[in-house]
Structure 1
Amino acid sequence: MGFLAIFAVGTAFVPPLGEAKAQVSATSAAKELRLGYFANVTHAPALIADHQGFLESALKSDNTQLETQIFNAGPAAIEALNSGALDAAYLGPSPALTSYLASAGKSLKIVAGVTNGGASLVVSKDIRSVEDLPGTELATPQFGGTQDVALRHYLLDQGLGEQVTVTPSSNGTVPQLFARQAIDGAWLPEPHASLLVKEHEAHRLINESSLWPKGKFPTTVLVVSQDFLAEHPQSVAKLVAANAQSIHWLNSVSAAERLSAVQAALNKINGSSLSDEVINLALGQVSFDEIPLEDTFKTLVAHQSAVGIGEPGEVTNIVNDQWIGQRPWE
């Protein structure tokens, strides 16, 4: 999957958070929309929007070409977005918040929620409690990513910040590292956490949902470059609608149909996938909702700042929610 190097820049007015969802007149439809996402269960709405054709179909009426790129972690996707190589991306909230604050609120907007839940600290069977963590080595997908921040903050909160080694490692290499006992565990998104549980005798020491009020925390959000949003709001509207359609589809079909569709998408991207048992377990760890959990963002920024990843700041206006709730496919 390639992506081209056209980047739209504009200065059109973008309504602030909380303003009525009035339609914004587009200066023009985008010639192409370059979208990044991960081949993860936590990005299932992106998988479905792309591989079920919801997004391509939504863009077709404007002759907008869809180009996609697969990433392994949020910081890399943010780098592509900030450099102008992407227009929009599905990613974890921590990289999005860091980018927004580092740019003084100019880099991106969160235009929809995507996935909540689906991250855990999975460890070897010899580690039975938090008290067993000192002296261990744990992995995360990438430094500065959402799970990396979650692990580092958890260790800090437990007074273990200097007693545990955190080693960022790609999701694909973690099972091999764990199998040869090079690491003792990892804080991972789905389906990678469930893979270690099902096939490598790991267990969930901490399900991140246990650390949040009502057990709800964002794992994936949909972000758009502010330049692209300003120049092509009608293309952003269609992206948000396709995301909503995917979430509606995932929440409406049977568990078997959901599993089959996610597996088909993962197989198309990777040429293979994990077992049905692993993916099904992973899907049971997540929920899908287009409403972003804005109340968590202030806490996430505080977590990032506490562990030295990013600066504190105000993120009240990071969400542009004007297209959430529309159902053009119905």
Structure 2
Amino acid sequence: MSSLLFKARRLAVAAATVMSFALGAQTAQAATDVRVGFIPVVGAGQLFVIDGEGWATEAGLNLKLTQFESGPAMISALASGTLDAYYGGIGPIMVASARGIDVKVYAATAIEEMTVVGRAAFGAQADAATAAGFKAFADREGRPVRIATQPPGSVPDTVLRYWLQNVVKADPKTYQITAMGIEATQQALLAGAVDAATVREPTLTVIQQRDPNTKLLALGGQMQPNQPGSVLALTGAFVKAHPEQAKALVALHNRATTLLKDEPNKAAAHLQKGLGKGITDLATFEKAVVSPASKFVADPMVIKDATKVMQDFQLQQGTLEKAADLNLLFDDSFYRAAVAP
């Protein structure tokens, strides 16, 4: 009798163990992989808050993050189907959509995040951010103002050219634009290889800390009012295959936007972990998150009108071959569901 009871208990334990492993396997399988491409800027801060707070794991999302040096660099990844989600500038997404790549903007991340800074002789000019200032520098130095920004079609390049042509109205002969990655831009500016650059946070804070003589020439709103910046975009394939997970990611994005605005120091710790690379300290990120260049938003419709202004300019410049249908590009259904009472 005791022998039979012992065997029964062993069978029960074995069954429970098998069941435990089975449930564990089911839980692991339930997590949905989300391949996310991002550019290393504070404007994509929601991503690092979602990841750092553990919300993605709780929602059954396994975020697989890949860093890119610019938005245009992510387009080929989107086109090849190796990315599901995109945290980067709106400009490349318009290009992708116009080329027939199935991708939509489901949330904004920030507005007016782009700035222009100047250093050395150019930055020291009182009239640096004027057409007269550009001309005075070119006449004095015998060369144009050298400006670093990201590749053509990116938000930094587009907004810089818009500012130079429509706001400053500088003579094109007085400036020279050089395309490079985000980190290379910071290095070139600090090394004196260029006179000015378009930068976002945390680069703006880092540069100002390393060189207090760096001059902020223009904030995002001065370059283009309500300037559309980084966005959360999702591929059609991912949304079709995982509609509930896509909806959950947008809801978490909105939640992260609230935390960034209400608890910036808490958010800064997550951004430092995601972007600091063990080099940039927490205090820098705490300052960057509350910078005038950090205006976090989630509602995609906030940037729709300004995106049309940007798109029209890109068409004029030839960096966009044809216009994207903004009514199709923007989808606020998941955002509206997230904020519904």
Larger Rg: 2
The one of 260, 266, 283 aligned to 2:275 = 266
State the one-letter code of the partner of 1:91: G
Q: Which moved more, 1:192-201 or 1:116-125?
A: 192-201
Q: 1:278 to 1:185 in 2, by over 3 A?
A: farther
State whether structure 2 residue 113 is matched by structure 1 residue 118. Answer: yes
**What residue in structure 1 maps to residue 99 of structure 2?**
102
Deviation at 1:246, TM superposition (A): 0.9
Q: TM-score, normalised by structure 1?
A: 0.80
Q: For this pair of structures, how many residues does the alignment match?
A: 290
| CA deviations over 1:63-120 (Å, ceiling 9, x no partner) | x5331111221011222111111011111111111111122xx421001111122211
Offset, 1:30: 8.2
Q: What stretches of structure 2 of length at least 5 have no aligned partner?
A: 1-29, 136-143
Instruction: Read off the aligned partner of 1:138 and give its amino acid letter.
Output: I
Can you list the C-alpha shifts for 1:201-222, whole angstroms capped at 9, x where unaligned? Answer: 2111111212444xx2221111
Question: Where do 1:156-195 residues align within 5 Å?
Answer: 156-157=165-166, 158-195=169-206
Quick one: distance in 2 between partners of 1:278 and 1:50?
17
Within the alignment, does 1:199 sit opposite 2:197 as a pair? no
Larger mean CA deviation between 257-266 and 309-318 belongs to 257-266
Distance 1:165-1:222 versus aligned 2 partners, 3 A rule: same
1:294 corresponds to: 304
Bigger relative contact order, structure 1 or 2, given CA contacts below 8 A and separation 6+? Answer: 1
Alpha-carbon separation, structure 2, partners of 1:225 and 1:91: 14
Runs ≥4 residues deviating over 6 A: none
Question: Residue type matched to 2:44 in 1?
Answer: H
Label 1:278 to 1:262 Cα distance change in 2 as closer, same or farther (>3 A): closer
Q: Deviations over 1:286-324 (max 9, x none)?
A: 122210211112101012122221134232221111111
Alignment of 1:231-310 (within 5 A): 231-253=241-263, 255-267=264-276, 270-274=277-281, 276-277=283-284, 279-281=286-288, 283-284=290-291, 285-292=293-300, 293-310=303-320
**Equivalent position SS for 1:142:** coil
Deviation at 1:153, TM superposition (A): 2.3
2:109 and 2:231 in contact (8 A); partners too: yes
Q: Distance in 2 between matches of 1:160 and 1:52?
A: 48
User: Against the structure 1 CA distance between its residues 141 and 322, is the aligned structure 2 distance closer, same or farther, given a 3 Å change threshold?
Assistant: same
1:48 Cα deviation (Å)? 0.8
State whether residues 102 and 310 of structure 1, in contact with CA within 8 Å, keep that contact through their aligned partners in structure 2: no
Alignment match of 1:325 (pick from 323, 327, 336): 336
In structure 1, distance between residues paired with 2:171 and 2:245: 46
SS at match of 2:336: coil
Aligned-residue offset at 1:31: 4.3
What does residue range 48-197 of structure 1 map to in structure 2 within 5 Å?
A: 48-58=49-59, 60=60, 64-103=61-100, 106-124=101-119, 125-128=123-126, 129=128, 130=130, 131-134=132-135, 135-157=144-166, 158-197=169-208
Q: Secondary structure at the match of 2:182?
A: coil
Change (3 A) 1:171 1:55: same
Change beyond 3 A, Cα 1:56–1:275: closer
The answer to whether the 8 A contact 2:134-2:170 is kept is no
Aligned pair in 2 of structure 1 residues 246, 281: CA closer, same or farther (>3 Å)? closer
Q: CA deviation at 1:33?
A: 1.4
Percent identity reads 22
What is the CA distance between 1:146 and its match in structure 2? 0.5
For the 8 Å contact 2:205–2:287, the answer to whether it is kept is no
Structure 1: 5+ residue stretches without partners: 1-28
Q: TM (normalized to structure 2)?
A: 0.78
- Using a 3 Å threshold, how does the CA distance of structure 1 residues 212 and 174 change in structure 2: closer, same or farther? closer
